[in-house]
Amino acid sequence: QVQLVESGGGLVQAGGSLRLSCAASGRTFRRYVMGWFRQAPGKEREFVAAIRWSGGNTYYADSVKGRFTISRDNAKNTVYLQMNSLKPEDTAVYYCAATYGPRLTPNEYEYNYWGQGTQVTVSS
């Protein structure tokens, strides 16, 4: 059974940094794409970043490009989201997700597995 467990959220001031982690278990993720999404209060869930587990290719939403970095540690079966220069508009619940196949997709409906989410709050 696939499990995705996020951690690392919290409260930070604008301009600060946080690193989110997503520990993946239950299968070999070599042929998966891992994604990060977020959902702010009253808004729809939106794509943040994705990484192809094999090869490490990445894809970012324009709103976070240059500030956020997605990476993975094969030995730990963990995906990270390093978030720098945080803004109040980055406040949201952040979710880790997984989809089988090579396509770096921003479409949440193509992701089959989801974590429970971790809250990130950026104060101004």
What integer best gives the mean pLDDT of the chain? 96
Alpha-carbon gap, residue 33 to 103, rounded angstroms: 7
pLDDT-based confidence at residue 55 (cuts at 50, 70, 90) = confident
Q: Tell me if 98 sits within 8 A of 112, measured CB to CB.
A: yes
Q: Does 43 have pLDDT greater than 90?
A: yes
Q: Is 60 helix (H, G, I), strand (E, B) or coil?
A: strand
Say which residues have a Cβ less than 8 Å from residue 107's Cβ, sequence separation at least 6. 47
Can you read off the two tokens belonging to residue 92?
A: 């949201």
| pLDDT, tens digit (0-9, with 9 covering 90-100), for 73-111 | 989 999 999 999 999 999 999 999 999 999 999 999 999
> Could you say which DSSP state residue 19 is in?
E
